[in-house]
A and B are shown apart, each in its own frame.
Chain A
């Protein structure tokens, strides 16, 4: 579904991504794990069209998209749940969700999307008239995911959804990622919580200093001693 080939991305003179290549097949959950500053968010921003690569290709459904503008990428079916949630403060929960459907026109399917989101996250329905800024961190994460779902994505990019959350929230979030995937959305999951991410992923890649160091199935990487030492605290 998505393939990234020899991607190079710079911030000024700093090379953040050095020839990264990876693939995501339709229906998969793929995870990209790596320490702080490895370049995970940079890769997502490049896929989403917010950053331009110096070289390399991003191919989505047989079309090169590395030069396509961000709105077109959302329209093509790639939605991102950004690191740090980036919900819209001052707008209600429901207005935040409405923003997620910004490019959609069919009222009936938008109404269905609200239903789906409220099914995944019943707490958002209870809070739908509340200012999004007053939600707890976990609820904001749910809202950010709900907002991305409102675009009816074929591919969902999640940037560290477990960051800063209590363990029960983390479990709930990962269960919902699985449910979203089971309902037909392909998932690229970025995480520092490698254990959790690898256990729900079909495949994973390990990123360090802007390069892919290892790849394999979720189980293979969980069993790998180098991964265990570097990312699983053991």
Chain B
């Protein structure tokens, strides 16, 4: 029971990170039907940004995270503008290959500039571990969980309550109709990339604090897992991405807890396959129903 509770805490912390990342995948997919393979690398760049502003400019945690979000938002917008926008009307596979290319560019570019070495992330917040009836929970874990939930709530409000959010929903269900009511498609897509990338930037700083180490390839595996989370949740569904993220986080720590660490990734993919066999559209996805 105690290990179960402990794994729940660890799983939720890790799951928050996957959830934040999965949101970017799902929003971008929802709006332009592109799997943005470079998304994990934006998360890596967010972590590096945090590393530098904390070390060089002595930012505190809040400013480091906020500035990483802004930096990543701009980066996402720039990547979309130069790499994906020119291919808007090309076959989908072209854009997909370009996304893989952008991912390599960011990974190799960062390796070239900063070497492939792992760096230890500055601990701007001193880790304090609380003991609650045999469970260990750190302030960092609480911070990750709290920040992730806050950001998800904020995102939900933006999507549901603001004009830009309504435009995002309209463009993702019917771009032609969206244009006919006066929505600027380009602005809406830029905004979506900005939002998704900002979430990735926050996740990058949080993981730096949690795991203590960052490197130019750190985005690869979490990127793929977050993508799996988005698919499990139902790609294109925002609540689905959050649920999928937490699910993968819990699963991974659970598998580690029963002593199968070496197989944790295999289990994640196995669950993906099982869920997709039972629910082909994911947990929150719905089959497109159209009336002609």
Contact = CB atoms under 8 A, between A and B. Distances in A.
Contacts of A48: 179-180
Interface stretch (B21-29, B103-111, B168-176): B168-176
Provide the main secondary structure of the chain B interface: helix
A102 B182 contact: yes
B173 A88 contact: yes
B181 A151 contact: yes
Interface string A70-108: 110011000110101011111100010011101100000
A27 interface: no
Contacts, number: 68
A102 B289 contact: no
Contacts of B182: 70-71, 74-75, 102-103, 151
B84 to A, nearest CB: 20
A103 B163 CA distance: 10
Contact of B291 (A69, A88, A137): A137
Contacts of A71: 179, 182-184
A74 to B, nearest CB: 4
Given A82-B176, A82-B180, A151-B182, A102 B163 contact: yes
Contact of A86 (B169, B177, B184, B289): B177
A103 B170 CA distance: 14
Contacts of A103: 181-182
Contacts of B290: 89, 133
Nearest to B288: A89
A70 B181 CA distance: 9
A140 interface: yes
B292 interface: yes
Nearest to A86: B177
Interface residues of B, number: 20
A79 B180 contact: yes
Nearest to B186: A69
A163 to B, nearest CB: 10
Contacts of B169: 88, 90-91
A177 B252 CA distance: 60
B177 A102 contact: no
B85 interface: no
A69 B185 CA distance: 11
A87 B289 CA distance: 13
A140 B179 CA distance: 18
A50 interface: yes
Contacts of B176: 50, 82, 86
Contacts of B177: 82, 86-88
A102 B180 contact: no
Contacts of A75: 182
Of the listed residues B167, B176, B289, the one surrounded by the most CB atoms of chain A closer than 10 A to its CB is: B176
Interface string A22-59: 00000000000000000000000000111000000000
Contacts of A137: 291
Contact of A99 (B170, B184, B289): B170
A70 B173 contact: no
A32 B173 CA distance: 29
Interface in A109-168: 133, 137, 140, 147-148, 151, 164
13 contacts: A48-B180, A70-B182, A74-B180, A79-B180, A86-B176, A88-B177, A99-B181, A102-B163, A133-B289, A133-B291, A137-B291, A151-B181, A164-B292
Given A48-B180, A133-B289, A151-B181, 14 more contacts: A71-B183, A71-B184, A82-B176, A84-B292, A88-B170, A88-B173, A89-B174, A89-B290, A90-B169, A90-B173, A99-B178, A102-B181, A137-B291, A164-B292
